[in-house]
Amino acid sequence: MSETIRIERLGVKADGIGMGPGGPAYVPFTLPGESITAERQGQRARATAILEPSPERQAAPCPHYTHCGGCDLQHASPPLYADFKRDLVVEALRRAGLDAPVHAMVPTAPGTRRRAVFSATRAGTRILFGFHEAMSNRIAPIDTCLVLKGEIVSALPALRKLAEGLVARKGETRLTVTLAGTGLDIAVETGQTLSEPLRARAMQIALSSDFARLSVNGEIVIEPRPPVVLAGDVPVLLPAGAFLQAVAGAEAEMARLALAHFQGSRQVADLFCGVGTFAFRLARHHATHAVENDAASLAALDRAQRAASGLKPLTSERRDLFRRPLTAKELKRFDGVLFDPPRAGAEAQARQLAESSVRRVVAVSCNPLTLARDARILVDGGYRLTEVTPIDQFLWSHHVEAVALFERV
């Protein structure tokens, strides 16, 4: 049944939130101030007509928009979009009782994302390949993407062909695609058994498509060129499917903020260091201790370090920082600490930092809510939150990266 709803504001996932005869409604792809007709299912609703469009509404540039779930806000004007993302950070901090300078969001241009995870599944006799629809397990087939680097977009037909051969009979097959400096690295996770005919077909597709490397379920199938990325100016050979900051420009901005904050520090720690994204940049200026739980990432860091020159002392340690954070006693030797955890944040580590004597801390976060929680812990432990910079690493989505700087009072 259709009803008229007036959209009042945007929620944290970029849905328009309004009130209709059926009560509150969350309506994707709408904007504050708009009057719409919608069909609802519980509190979720789908706009069927925009009766009064917002002056901030613009035409979405992508033909897959509203079907593919990767983007939420292509229909919003750039100023509204930037304010929305900055406000996500401001509001999360406010709810934690924190008031700190939050800068304007650092933008990201279209066509700059170098890493994406595609999904493939069987639908009867068809193979669906693309991204998930919003809030759904259904896959929206795509033939272009305005967010991704051109090299990945150009490879979509080959990736689809690869997925068609490797997709499992049941469940979902995932392809993690990373554009390294030497070409595309493709890491496939599938329930399909890799028979010799399938292996040969996959190798042929990889060779004809000039992929740098293809791995299936962690096994390297073919590697014409090792996939190498730069961590600052240090070449690092990526493990298959390894985490990498999605946009190189965003990564560089995060590193710039951290390096400026640590100016004058002698010994720093890089926690949740991955393959050394920040550690190698830090080690150009400071003795650095890098901590990570993923063995393959640490091995890549170690190989890259042994080949690098001109670094300050760089040590590494494998450790689960969720279960066994560096203690306040262990932190005594550092005057600077950077932590860049997954979306769950770094609560246990923040509690140890709050009890430590570390002078400067940098928190890099992809989740404003857990950032605010961890920031509250640090502030309660005697730190001052000096500034926060939102960074638009995930273009047109409701996700926002942020870098927060802390100093011990």
> Residue ranges for the binding site for S-adenosyl-L-methionine?
245, 272, 292, 340
Cα torsion through 6, 7, 8, 13, rounded to 10:
160
Contact 111, 394 (CB under 8 A): no
Q: Which of 225, 196, 220 minimizes the C-alpha distance to 210?
A: 225
How far lies 61's CA from each of 58, 73, 346, in Å?
A: 9, 11, 37
What does the alpha-carbon distance between residue 276 and residue 288 come to, in Å, rounded to a whole number?
Answer: 11
**CA 81-83-87 angle, 5° bins:** 120
Which residues are within 8 A (CB) of 385 and not within 5 positions of it... i.e. 6 or more apart? 93, 98, 100, 375, 378, 379, 404, 405, 406
Beta strands 183-189 and 126-132: pairing type? unpaired
Question: Which residue type sits at 257?
Answer: L
- Report how far apart, in Å, the C-alpha atoms of 126 and of each of 131, 140, 216 are: 16, 13, 22
Task: Reply yes or no on whether 366 is catalytic.
Answer: yes
The residue from 62, 71, 273, 366 that is catalytic is 366
Burial (0-12, 13-18, 19+ Cβ within 10 Å), 369:
middle
Residues at the binding site are 245, 272, 292, 340
Handedness of CA 35, 36, 37, 40 (dihedral sign): negative
- Kindly report the length of the chain: 409
**Distances in Å between the alpha carbon of 199 and those of 170, 194, 196, 216, 220?**
19, 6, 5, 9, 11
Question: Under the phi-then-psi rule, with left for phi > 0, alpha for psi from -120 to 50, and beta for the rest, what region is 145?
Answer: beta
Q: Which residues are catalytic?
A: 366
